[in-house]
């Protein structure tokens, strides 16, 4: 469903992605590992159009997303993203953070959007916090709200960019639990993380990046048996 064909990405003269050829399939949970600066974040930011590729093709459901004629807003509805630093709207409540995009982008009616948001909050076990503001929540709770917000657009794939790296150790587990539940439900996920437990136990496939290249692309089972 997502395919990189001979993709290169430069920041000025810096070669950040080097001839990337990779395909991400529906229902698959892929973890991307690799040292800091190896291009992991750049790779997934290209998928939702936060970064533009310099050369090659990037297809989502067969549509070349960096074509001038492609509507990037439509792509972003299909590709949800969860960031390291949550990126919640600080002056909106938890519930409003989740309903905003469905109401304004998908033109959902308000009642329907609220009903859906409440279901999602139940799923991430935060329904009781729906009227609070982000700064009243722990890091783990904020990240669970961010996941619920990502899901509210009914995306075909959810991207995670180091979702637990900014969290206190005691709240990491609650976020990984929500992510494992999603994986079990068949959500297509691409996850940049340093959480080896998640990579080993939850993901189907592990990519290892170094210096802008994908050096390994293997079923997680074999990656962790024979690293």
Helix, strand or coil, per DSSP, at residue 116: helix
* 66/129 with CB nearer ligand ADP: 66
Residue 37 near ligand ADP by CB under 6 A: yes
Residue 16 near ligand ADP by CB under 6 A: yes
Give the start-end residues of each E strand in the chain: 2-11, 14-24, 29-33, 55-60, 63-64, 79-82, 157-161, 188-192, 205-210, 213-219
Nearest approach in angstroms of CB 145 to ligand ADP is: 17
Work out which of 28, 96, 161, 195 binds ligand ADP, going by CB under 6 A. Answer: 161
Residue 193 near ligand ADP by CB under 6 A: no
Going by their DSSP bridges, the two strands 188-192 and 29-33 should be labelled as parallel
Contact range with ligand ADP by CB under 6 A, out of 40-48, 55-63, 105-113, 118-126: 40-48
The answer for residues whose C-beta is within 8 angstroms of residue 124's C-beta and 6 or more apart is 144, 145, 147, 148, 178
**What whole-number distance in Å separates Cα of residue 174 and Cα of residue 176?**
6
Work out which of 84, 138, 180, 210 binds ligand ADP, going by CB under 6 A. Answer: 84
* 24/113 with CB nearer ligand ADP: 24
* 10/133 with CB nearer ligand ADP: 10
Residue 48 near ligand ADP by CB under 6 A: no
Residue 33 near ligand ADP by CB under 6 A: no
* 86/223 with CB nearer ligand ADP: 86
Residue 87 near ligand ADP by CB under 6 A: no
Contact range with ligand ADP by CB under 6 A, out of 34-42, 110-118, 141-149, 213-221: 34-42
Residue found by looking up tokens 């959007």 in the block: 113
**What whole-number distance in Å separates Cα of residue 103 and Cα of residue 107?**
5
**What whole-number distance in Å separates Cα of residue 200 and Cα of residue 220?**
6
Q: How many CA atoms lie within 13 A of 51 on its CB side?
A: 20
Residue 139 near ligand ADP by CB under 6 A: no
| Other beta carbons less than 10 A from residue 110's beta carbon | 10
Residues that bind ligand ADP (CB under 6 A): 11, 14, 16, 34, 36-42, 84-85, 161-162
């Amino acid at each position: 469903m997502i395919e990189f064909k001979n993709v290169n990405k430069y920041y000025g003269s810096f070669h950040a992605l080097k001839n990337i050829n990779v395909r991400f399939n529906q229902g698959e949970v892929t973890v991307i590992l690799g040292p800091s600066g190896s291009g992991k974040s750049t790779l997934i930011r290209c998928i939702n159009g936060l970064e533009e590729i310099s050369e090659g093709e990037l297809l989502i459901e067969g549509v070349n997303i960096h074509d001038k004629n492609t509507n990037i807003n439509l792509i972003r509805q299909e590709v949800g993203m969860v960031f390291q630093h949550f990126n919640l709207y600080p002056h909106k409540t938890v519930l409003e953070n989740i309903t905003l995009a469905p109401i304004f982008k998908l033109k959902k009616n308000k009642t329907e959007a609220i009903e859906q948001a409440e279901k999602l909050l139940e799923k991430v076990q935060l329904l009781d916090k729906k009227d609070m503001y982000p700064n009243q929540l722990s890091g783990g709770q904020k990240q669970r709200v961010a996941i619920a917000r990502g899901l509210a657009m009914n995306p075909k794939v959810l991207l995670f960019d180091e979702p637990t790296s900014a969290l206190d150790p005691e709240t990491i587990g609650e976020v990984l639990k929500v992510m494992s539940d999603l994986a079990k439900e068949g959500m297509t996920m691409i996850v940049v993380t340093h959480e080896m437990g998640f990579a080993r136990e939850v993901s189907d496939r592990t990519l290892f990046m170094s210096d802008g290249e994908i050096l390994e692309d293997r079923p997680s089972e074999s990656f962790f048996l024979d690293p």
